[in-house]
Amino acid sequence: MKVLLVAPPKTGVYGSERYPPIGLGYIASILKSNSHEVDIKDCIILNWDENALFKYISEFKPDVIGITLFSQAFSSVESVLKRVKKEFPKLITIVGGPHPTALPEKVLVELPDADYGCNGEGEYTLKLLLDKIKNKDKSYVDVPGLIWRDGDKNKFNAKLEHEPVDDFGMPDWELINPNLYNVNSINIEEKTAVILTSRGCPFPCRFCVRLGKKLRLRKVENIYDEMIYLNKKYGIKKFHLGDEGFPINKQYVKEFCRFMIEKGDGFEFFASCGLRLNTLDSEMLELMKQAKFKREFNVGIESCVPKVRNNLMKKNLLQDDLINGLRLLNKHGFKPNGNFILGYPGETKQDILESIKIALTLPLLGANFSPFLPLPGSEETKTLIENGEIPENFDYSRIKMDSVLYAPKGMTPLEIDNLRKRAVFLFNIRPRVLFGKHLSRKNIVWSFFKFIKIFTPNFLLPKSMKREVK
């Protein structure tokens, strides 16, 4: 069968839109190994509008189209699906990615023009589904992760967390071409590729959406083979490790570093999802330095107030581990940036002010203060819906990093927005941060853009940059 996999336009953190669709690359590899003809088109990197996409659909003539669905891209995906059914009524449509995985019971109701959905990892789900379609077999209960219709009922099967993950091989880089994503990118340098070392996360943070609960690690040898392939074919010399699972197991990090040091290829690395402050030790950090890891990265602090961070968020990060982890990083020459959430459910104004006060004392090079976002499928969002604090039909396409879509009881979104501005101003006006981070040649454009988005009155911002505060 001919399969077209599509990454549609989406919005989010500045620069994150230009992120390679690695998940589609893995799916393409599995489907091609099963004798399907596959292509990938990323509408953002190609600068395609809907008309350009449909021109290609008419040329490629696929039997199946699979679309990655982020909540922010819901309206564009909905529009594409409606037009597909109008112009190509026999074309089978499948949606997968974060939104269907978070809301498997709703996605086919929300998108009546989608024939199927994928709940979780899609490689084997699509492989088995296409076998069913080819054989005209409509018994779907044995296809793990499939979202499907049984008459007028919408059903979904349990997610598959396949192990070992090395069975997936590596993404089909010929269909992605990493060099398309490291030119004129705010986040990815030239000669850099994003690769994944793991799947899943065992931690129970309530604000997060886990696509897999069990940490499953790739063999270091297989990761290295992927690096060598990317280096020889595309000239890649730097690698972003783009999964949150990499730093969780410090023995794995040490193994990875020792392997790369021994190979001596001179590759450089960046833990783009950051490190966990309670999984560090001196040996690990020294090995990371020897393996040429970038010294600056993010650490998830979320709140400096223990009752908020651990009781409400379930971050499971003790205050001593937070302080000691930051001290250890600085001792070994690393430059951590802290991630913080403001306006978390159950948090008070005093909690927020206390968190900001403590954040100003921490040895951080930078900090990201973000409003709480009710992500679809997170445990916190489910509770907010159950308690009637946000509606069951909440429009998740409104989610943007600079918008305040929720405020804890006793507070307003405007108060949260003002507290965020206070935190950003107080933290970044200090000489150590201002001159050490924001006025550097590397960061000045990004910093200027971010400050404009946060502090400029909404009515002066273009539509694409406006903050929603309500």
| pLDDT tens-place values along the chain, 470 residues long | 999 999 987 654 344 457 899 999 999 999 999 999 999 999 999 999 999 999 999 999 999 999 999 998 999 999 999 999 999 999 999 999 999 999 999 999 999 999 999 999 999 999 999 999 999 999 999 999 999 999 889 999 999 999 999 999 999 999 999 999 987 666 788 899 999 999 999 999 999 987 788 999 999 999 999 999 999 999 999 999 999 999 999 999 999 999 999 999 999 999 999 999 999 999 999 999 999 999 999 999 999 999 999 999 999 999 999 999 999 999 999 999 999 999 999 999 999 999 999 999 999 999 999 999 999 999 999 999 999 999 999 999 899 888 999 999 999 999 999 999 999 999 999 888 888 887 777 778 778 877 888 888 887 888 777 888 87
Tell me the C-alpha distance between 3 and 213, whole Å: 29
pLDDT digits (tens, 9 = 90+) for 198-227: 999 999 999 998 778 899 999 999 999 999
Helix (H, G, I), strand (E, B) or coil at 146: strand
Question: Residues with Cβ < 8 Å from 347, sequence gap 6 or more?
Answer: 303, 308, 312, 408
Question: Residues with Cβ < 8 Å from 222, sequence gap 6 or more?
Answer: 166, 170
Instruction: Supply the pLDDT for residue 14.
Output: 40
Residue 38 lies in a domain: yes
DSSP H or E segment with residue 380: helix 379-386
pLDDT digits (tens, 9 = 90+) for 239-284: 999 999 999 999 999 999 999 999 999 999 999 999 999 999 999 9
Dihedral, 196, 200, 203, 206 alpha carbons, nearest 10: 100
Give the Å distances, CA to CA, from 381 to 72, 385, 397.
16, 6, 15
Q: Which strands form 366-371's sheet, in the order they lie side by side? A: 296-302, 335-342, 366-371
Residue 459 lies in a domain: yes
Which of the listed residues 156, 178, 205 is the one where a domain comes to its end? 156
Q: Tell me how many helices (H) and strands (E) the chain has.
A: 16, 15
Instruction: Supply the pLDDT for residue 106.
Output: 95
> For position 80, which CATH number holds?
3.40.50.2300
Residue 332 lies in a domain: no
pLDDT over 70 for what percent of the chain? Answer: 97
Residue 171 lies in a domain: no
Residue 178 lies in a domain: no
Helix (H, G, I), strand (E, B) or coil at 55: helix
Q: Which of 265, 330, 257 is nearest to 287 (CA)?
A: 257
Question: Residues with Cβ < 8 Å from 99, sequence gap 6 or more?
Answer: 69, 70, 71, 74, 107, 376, 396
Which of the listed residues 156, 188, 203 is the one where a domain comes to its end? 156
Which neighbouring-strand residues pair with 153?
150
Domain span at 416: 340-470
Amino acid (1-letter code) at residue 20: P
Instruction: Supply the pLDDT for residue 15.
Output: 41
Provide the number of structural domains found in the chain.
2
**3-state secondary structure labels for all residues of 385-426:** HHCCCCCCCCCHHHCCCCCECCCCCCCCHHHHHHHHHHHHHH
Residue 195 lies in a domain: no
Residue 162 lies in a domain: no
CB 370 within 8 A of CB 341: yes
Which of the listed residues 127, 156, 185 is the one where a domain comes to its end? 156
Residue 379 lies in a domain: yes
